[in-house]
A and B are shown apart, each in its own frame.
Chain A
């Protein structure tokens, strides 16, 4: 920014170029105006409105009084909210890392030029084509101890086999992770596979000449090259974590007890079922703060810092 060249003598000329530049940009600005308005009014506006409501005592209808942080202190004394936060953390870490690892392994597997690659690719990607609701219901049946996997294995002659995670309070959240992995790993695979296909053949040849084992090439050479794909996949998976709602509703309805409650469900229940707009919006605000505080360092590293350096 400090090194903008200033040409004093040619002021008039630069003004005309600036004017023509504006004129050139005018149609573009016009075209973007509706979108900008939508972003401003709908996204930013609703966000501010939500934050404002979280400081009120609104119940069924919005009310514009001021109760300070009362809703927040209520929120942090609420068992169910605390369980939700814990659950989303468990789910987030396991789901994102699990999808990346599994997706990468699947991509590497397919990248070995296996026969029937198309079939495998479709099979692995197929779960992603299902909605979370379908996924949830299917896994609910599959994991139900009375009619799913446990019963099947017992009927096959192992009467002591137990797999009752979905009805077990301590383990139920992991069944949500399993279903999520099944759903999301395929997409990660597709993204990483596209990256793998873009790796230069010569790199492989060079590595072969040097006698580097294949796994080492993947870990030390290919994986760093895939960085943009890994970031893309992570961003996509993260949005999936934040909005996790339908999978839980379809699969466990937050149960057994409150063992699989998640923040988004807490918001929905309080906004629409329990006529408690204030508490719902307070939760939504906390979610917003969490997302922003996760995103901020990334945005800073990606957009702000490089600009400062290059200028």
Chain B
């Protein structure tokens, strides 16, 4: 009796599985790491569009970029790849390309005129030996400075335009009893702040030479030393509770007016929006530096190579959905980034996004994010050096530069 029941349960289950397989013609399993409230709302835009286009979206969200990327790489290498999987714009998927594990998307790129509608360095970042291998979906600016407008008004100072100015202004803010700089004291954010100073004070060329070309001469130049010294002085602008703090807690210090400024990528905007604040009113956003240069990166999707025709058709449809102007606009509104297509009308987006769009429009202002020009290994070695320098107040600029040149030599 019991056996019979179990057997029939198995047959039923089997029937379900096989029938659902037969029904879903275009089933796309998507692996990504967008798990926070804003992010998952953003990815739902793509999912809905894909469903509308007749596909079935199987969402496989893995918390944490590192974990998700590791899972994606393992499944691709292990021969059981998802339909598409997420990476950051940059070098993270280089070896998958050279191992021939990713689908060549050059036909889609040509048909979609990516070269005409996207910033050059974003297209370059997904291109390997002349062929596109990933679909960029957004542009994140990484060196934004968010500030509390009321705190600045109360202190009677203007938000700083350059980094030396920032140091001066901070003295006034300190007198008023506010924390000049809110920082999430974790290695990633300490590095992010360093990069903001490097591009803002040292300029894009120095940024590329140091981080991209690992030019030891550039690292020993007086300009780089100036950058390092300014960064060193900024150690005194954070509060004691900064080490180990999460970036969103740092952002909330600015939201509540306890701190004046917070450097971060434009994803931090989500925190301000969630607190009911409006860009340009309670908080402002700006890029510090003589000419505002924006460090841009973002997210891409790669498509594991397959010979299955149905899968290929599904992937084609996904590419279409990702780059559709309407889904681009909606997705990026929720994500906090700006559309990767510069031809999308963004007048309905907030003040910060419009500012970002205006800066990025001029190719001279586009600076590659570190992960676009540097290997994860060198990025990590730089991060180790930066976090040591930031957290050791008596470490001199020269000692830090020594560490940087050592990292340039050793890290492959």
* A binding-site residues for B, Cβ under 8 Å: 57, 59-61, 74, 77-80, 140, 144-147, 164, 166-167, 169, 251-259, 269-270, 272-276, 279
Contacts and interface: CB of A to CB of B under 8 A. Distances in A.
B284 interface: no
B241 A144 contact: yes
A146 B241 CA distance: 5
Interface in B39-67: 66-67
What is the size category of the interface that chain B forms with chain A?
20 to 34
A5 to B, nearest CB: 54
Contact of B244 (A57, A61, A167, A270): A167
Interface in B164-199: 185-187
B95 A59 contact: yes
Contacts, number: 93
Nearest to B67: A272
29 contacts: A59-B95, A59-B375, A59-B377, A59-B412, A60-B94, A60-B96, A61-B73, A61-B95, A61-B96, A79-B388, A144-B241, A144-B244, A146-B241, A167-B185, A167-B240, A167-B242, A252-B244, A254-B187, A255-B186, A255-B244, A256-B185, A257-B391, A258-B387, A259-B391, A272-B67, A274-B380, A275-B95, A276-B380, A276-B412
B158 interface: no
Interface string B94-124: 1110010000000000000000000000000
A255 B240 contact: no
Contacts of B242: 167
Contacts of A274: 376-377, 379-380
A57 B92 CA distance: 17
Contacts of B70: 272
Contacts of B375: 59, 275
Contacts of B384: 79-80, 258
Contacts of B376: 273-276
Given A61-B77, A146-B241, A273-B66, A255 B377 contact: no
A256 B412 CA distance: 26
Contact of A61 (B92, B99, B379): B99
B95 A60 contact: yes
Nearest to A77: B410
Task: Tell me which of A74, A270, A272 has the highest count of chain B C-beta atoms within 10 A of its own C-beta.
Answer: A272
A146 B240 contact: yes
Contacts of A140: 244
A255 B380 contact: no
A164 B239 CA distance: 12
A164 B388 CA distance: 18
A146 B243 CA distance: 11
Given A59-B375, A145-B241, 9 more contacts: A60-B73, A77-B410, A146-B239, A169-B391, A251-B244, A256-B243, A272-B67, A274-B380, A276-B376
Interface of B: 66-67, 69-70, 73, 77, 92, 94-96, 99, 185-187, 239-244, 375-377, 379-380, 384, 387-388, 390-392, 403, 410, 412
Nearest to B91: A275
Nearest to B186: A253
A14 B169 CA distance: 96
7 smallest CB-CB distances across A and B, nearest first, come from A146-B241, A257-B391, A274-B380, A256-B391, A256-B243, A60-B95, A167-B243
Contact of A253 (B96, B187, B379, B388): B187
Contacts of B403: 79
Contacts of A275: 92, 95, 375-377
A49 to B, nearest CB: 14
Contacts of A252: 243-244
Nearest to B73: A60
Nearest to B393: A169
A15 to B, nearest CB: 46
A59 B376 CA distance: 10
Contacts of B377: 59, 270, 274-276, 279
Contacts of A59: 95, 375, 377, 412
Contacts of A253: 186-187, 244
A255 B387 contact: yes
Nearest to B379: A274
Nearest to A57: B412
A253 B70 CA distance: 19
A60 B70 CA distance: 10
Contacts of A147: 241
A270 B410 CA distance: 14
A147 B390 CA distance: 22
A59 B93 CA distance: 12
Contacts of A255: 185-187, 243-244, 387, 391
A166 B244 contact: yes
Contacts of A279: 377
Contacts of A74: 410
A262 to B, nearest CB: 14
